Chains A and B, each alone.
Chain A
């Protein structure tokens, strides 16, 4: 086939342009580490990648939700533990009250119970990030409403929150009830009322009322202990779920990497091949294009 001069030149230019484009494409893959960037690079892979990326973002949100749930659960746990300690101390004081007490001693115990009442109210109205912990979903309402007498002593408490549960999604399919439940919250108000009864019984030396308060304290303790157990279990579930989310995130990352990342060794080898071909094309073109019959005519 005849190879006219112009065609030889355009063929060389076209070949060099193709090789240059290939080099550029491979260099971009090597430098970015990515095989796929735009939808047109590999449409099917991009479709899968977008789904995986969305899932990864959702998993990230669930991890953050788990953190929120854990924070809330831990705060609830610590407040309930504090409440239990108050209950234990109140139980001890009640037990002492059942013995023979002098008036001064009874008054001193009553004063301590009064402090326990104040502490229990503060704990029952405990907050996390400005939200009340023991109010159900009425997190902006002070859950333990108290009545005080003229001297400022608490005479009664009522639960002012609601019985709804706070639920946080930990995965697409599962949500976890976090914080305390309505019965627990009500039991806290009851516990405070039992403390009030105890204080008044100690003050007045009323044995019947003392027995009533002891029964109330025991009932409250049962509820609080059960709530502590439930909260601890929830905490463990959150931590296990958090680990699973981490594993899922790693797995998604592995799948994304398999779809999107360039295989560096083979890409570098291909780049090297393209560079060699480019250099060879330039060298051979410069020789061929420089040569003509004119070089041999006088």
Chain B
């Protein structure tokens, strides 16, 4: 159509296109603080071309599509980094809780040389105080105060080991529970993503890439899912708008988590492994991996070390206290773990033996037990620990400290990487207030200009219709 009516029609179409552009800028502005939102743009296009006597002429502009500014590679990178960050964060948090449960700290204000109770410190100090109490008993075997101190320190030692083990045990249970809770979230998210996949497929039958809001929601849920479990995604070969989500087993084979709109099998957690149908997922990232790694590595090692310490304490102290095996043990013989170590109930400040039937001032047993503090144990020789009690504990706590510090450092590093990747993605997809306001002005002016064209055409038509032939 050409002529004034054609121009009028073209103006109206332009107004509609600019209105869509203003509307889109408004939507972008409304989502300026929405982290899941990718900015949108109206794609202008030509309505077509007709042949006129004056040559080929355009039918005018129209808003062909609202497109989303997303970089698929960056989106995938964010998903990967979120998974790694979540694992590092979960691990660091678990170790921080483990460190609190261990209760081992350096307090320079505490008086470590006092002869009274050992204050509120950790396992290392309670072990040292236990043996120095025997050292004191050896020096003054008939002193009832020394005997009371020794019994008190023995009680503190066993209580410290029992309570530390109980706290670490509870933490391990909490981590298992957190992993189980995350697995429930994983299954919920897989269902939601499957549904979104299906909706996107239906919406985009005729216009690929047009279900922008649904794609935003799916990306947000994908990142949430990656926070729980390491996943990989790719566009479905048949339905490019939909995505496949899969994890991998130990051999690197894909385990499909979503097939278009359906979840073939739920993820199942048995307390140790995550399985999908017959396959076991090799956990490498995501908070579930972080929880289980902290539980099964650093915390388990720490508990094993405390158990070994308790075992050696019970074995060696009982052997020194009851050399003939006939006069009663110091610790209950069966309690050889940190959770079960206990002073034999028959041992008290009065019945405590300083010697094996010797004179009142004989302190051979007390001396022998005090000397255990300096003894070098050797697992190769059948002992439960290597080195002295103090060396073994200091090394164990130092190793655990390395786990804590390492997890913190990994989390900090990974957090920085995630921030960088997110910044890169935001630089592509994020909404800029200044940019949108400038666009708004641009579209407003374009709308005003198109309106002006309509107004001019109107005047011309008025001239033609009412002014000619008078």
Give me the interface of A with B, judged by CB distance under 8 Å.
1-7, 9-11, 14, 32-34, 36-44, 46-51, 53-54, 56-65, 68-69, 129-131, 135-141, 162, 164, 166-169, 172, 249, 256-257, 260-261, 292-294, 297
Please give, as numbers and ranges, the residues of chain A lying within 8 Å of B35 by CB-CB distance: 6, 10
Name the CB-closest residue of B to A53.
Answer: B112
Name the CB-closest residue of A to B32.
Answer: A5
8 Å CB contact of B437 from A36, A51, A62, A297? A297
Please give, as numbers and ranges, the residues of chain A lying within 8 Å of B329 by CB-CB distance: none
Please tell me if the beta carbons of B359 and A7 are within 8 angstroms of each other in the complex: no
* Distance in Å: Cβ of A127 to nearest Cβ of chain B: 11
Please give, as numbers and ranges, the residues of chain B lying within 8 Å of A11 by CB-CB distance: 419, 423
B331 within 8 Å of A (CB atoms): no
Please tell me if the beta carbons of A137 and B419 are within 8 angstroms of each other in the complex: no
Please give, as numbers and ranges, the residues of chain B lying within 8 Å of A9 by CB-CB distance: 33
Q: In the complex, what distance in Å separates the CA atom of A42 from the CA atom of B398?
A: 8
Please give, as numbers and ranges, the residues of chain B lying within 8 Å of A1 by CB-CB distance: 427
Name the CB-closest residue of B to A130.
Answer: B142
Please tell me if the beta carbons of A54 and B124 are within 8 angstroms of each other in the complex: yes
Q: In the complex, what distance in Å separates the CA atom of A38 from the CA atom of B95?
A: 12
Please encode chain B, from 77 to 114, with 1 for each CB lying within 8 Å of some chain A CB and 0 for all others: 00000000000000000011001001011111000111
Please give, as numbers and ranges, the residues of chain B lying within 8 Å of A32 by CB-CB distance: 108
Please tell me if the beta carbons of B430 and A53 are within 8 angstroms of each other in the complex: no
Name the CB-closest residue of B to A2.
Answer: B427
Name the CB-closest residue of B to A49.
Answer: B106
Please tell me if the beta carbons of B391 and A51 are within 8 angstroms of each other in the complex: yes
Please tell me if the beta carbons of A4 and B431 are within 8 angstroms of each other in the complex: yes
Please give, as numbers and ranges, the residues of chain B lying within 8 Å of A297 by CB-CB distance: 437, 441
B132 within 8 Å of A (CB atoms): yes
B139 within 8 Å of A (CB atoms): yes
B369 within 8 Å of A (CB atoms): no
Please tell me if the beta carbons of B360 and A44 are within 8 angstroms of each other in the complex: no
Please tell me if the beta carbons of A39 and B397 are within 8 angstroms of each other in the complex: yes
* Distance in Å: Cβ of A43 to nearest Cβ of chain B: 3
8 Å CB contact of A40 from B34, B132, B390, B405? B405
Besides the known contacts A58-B131, A60-B114, A293-B433, 14 further A-B residue pairs in the complex with CB atoms under 8 A apart = A6-B430, A39-B99, A39-B102, A49-B106, A50-B393, A50-B394, A60-B113, A61-B132, A65-B139, A140-B360, A164-B358, A164-B362, A168-B139, A256-B108
Please tell me if the beta carbons of B399 and A69 are within 8 angstroms of each other in the complex: no
B402 within 8 Å of A (CB atoms): yes
Please tell me if the beta carbons of B361 and A60 are within 8 angstroms of each other in the complex: no
Please tell me if the beta carbons of A40 and B404 are within 8 angstroms of each other in the complex: yes
* Distance in Å: Cβ of A167 to nearest Cβ of chain B: 8
Please tell me if the beta carbons of B112 and A56 are within 8 angstroms of each other in the complex: yes
Please give, as numbers and ranges, the residues of chain B lying within 8 Å of A53 by CB-CB distance: 106, 112, 124-125, 128
Please give, as numbers and ranges, the residues of chain B lying within 8 Å of A129 by CB-CB distance: 140, 142-143
Please tell me if the beta carbons of B135 and A51 are within 8 angstroms of each other in the complex: no
Q: Name, among B108, B394, B399, the residue most crowded by chain A CB atoms within 10 Å (CB to CB).
A: B108
Give the contacts of B381-403 with A (CB-CB under 8 A).
390-391, 393-395, 397-402
* Distance in Å: Cβ of B45 to nearest Cβ of chain A: 25
Name the CB-closest residue of B to A132.
Answer: B361
* Distance in Å: Cβ of A135 to nearest Cβ of chain B: 7
Please give, as numbers and ranges, the residues of chain B lying within 8 Å of A4 by CB-CB distance: 39, 426-427, 429-432
Q: In the complex, what distance in Å separates the CA atom of A58 from the CA atom of B139?
A: 13
B367 within 8 Å of A (CB atoms): yes
8 Å CB contact of B361 from A39, A65, A166? A166
Tell me the interface secondary structure of chain B in the complex: helix
Known: A39-B398, A164-B359, A293-B438. A57 touches B125 (CB 8 A): yes
Known: A43-B399, A54-B124. A61 touches B394 (CB 8 A): no
Known: A47-B395, A139-B361. A294 touches B106 (CB 8 A): no
Q: In the complex, what distance in Å separates the CA atom of A168 from the CA atom of B112?
A: 21
Please encode chain B, from 29 to 41, with 1 for each CB lying within 8 Å of some chain A CB and 0 for all others: 0001111000100
Please tell me if the beta carbons of B427 and A136 are within 8 angstroms of each other in the complex: no
* Distance in Å: Cβ of A297 to nearest Cβ of chain B: 7
Please tell me if the beta carbons of A44 and B359 are within 8 angstroms of each other in the complex: no
Please give, as numbers and ranges, the residues of chain B lying within 8 Å of A137 by CB-CB distance: 358-363
Please give, as numbers and ranges, the residues of chain B lying within 8 Å of A34 by CB-CB distance: 106, 108
8 Å CB contact of B139 from A40, A41, A56, A68? A68
Name the CB-closest residue of A to B92.
Answer: A40
Q: In the complex, what distance in Å separates the CA atom of A6 from the CA atom of B426?
A: 8
Please give, as numbers and ranges, the residues of chain B lying within 8 Å of A69 by CB-CB distance: 139
* Distance in Å: Cβ of A218 to nearest Cβ of chain B: 31
Please tell me if the beta carbons of A138 and B359 are within 8 angstroms of each other in the complex: yes
Please tell me if the beta carbons of A6 and B33 are within 8 angstroms of each other in the complex: yes
Please tell me if the beta carbons of A37 and B132 are within 8 angstroms of each other in the complex: no
Please give, as numbers and ranges, the residues of chain A lying within 8 Å of B433 by CB-CB distance: 5, 292-294
8 Å CB contact of B113 from A2, A130, A249? A249
Please tell me if the beta carbons of B129 and A57 are within 8 angstroms of each other in the complex: yes
Please give, as numbers and ranges, the residues of chain A lying within 8 Å of B419 by CB-CB distance: 11, 14
Please tell me if the beta carbons of B405 and A43 are within 8 angstroms of each other in the complex: yes
Q: In the complex, what distance in Å separates the CA atom of A135 from the CA atom of B142?
A: 14
Please give, as numbers and ranges, the residues of chain A lying within 8 Å of B124 by CB-CB distance: 50, 53-54
Q: Name, among A32, A56, A61, the residue most crowded by chain B CB atoms within 10 Å (CB to CB).
A: A61
Please give, as numbers and ranges, the residues of chain B lying within 8 Å of A43 by CB-CB distance: 398-402, 404-405
B373 within 8 Å of A (CB atoms): yes
Please tell me if the beta carbons of A140 and B142 are within 8 angstroms of each other in the complex: yes
Please give, as numbers and ranges, the residues of chain B lying within 8 Å of A68 by CB-CB distance: 139-140
B317 within 8 Å of A (CB atoms): no
B260 within 8 Å of A (CB atoms): no
Please give, as numbers and ranges, the residues of chain A lying within 8 Å of B390 by CB-CB distance: 50-51, 54
Please give, as numbers and ranges, the residues of chain A lying within 8 Å of B400 by CB-CB distance: 39, 43
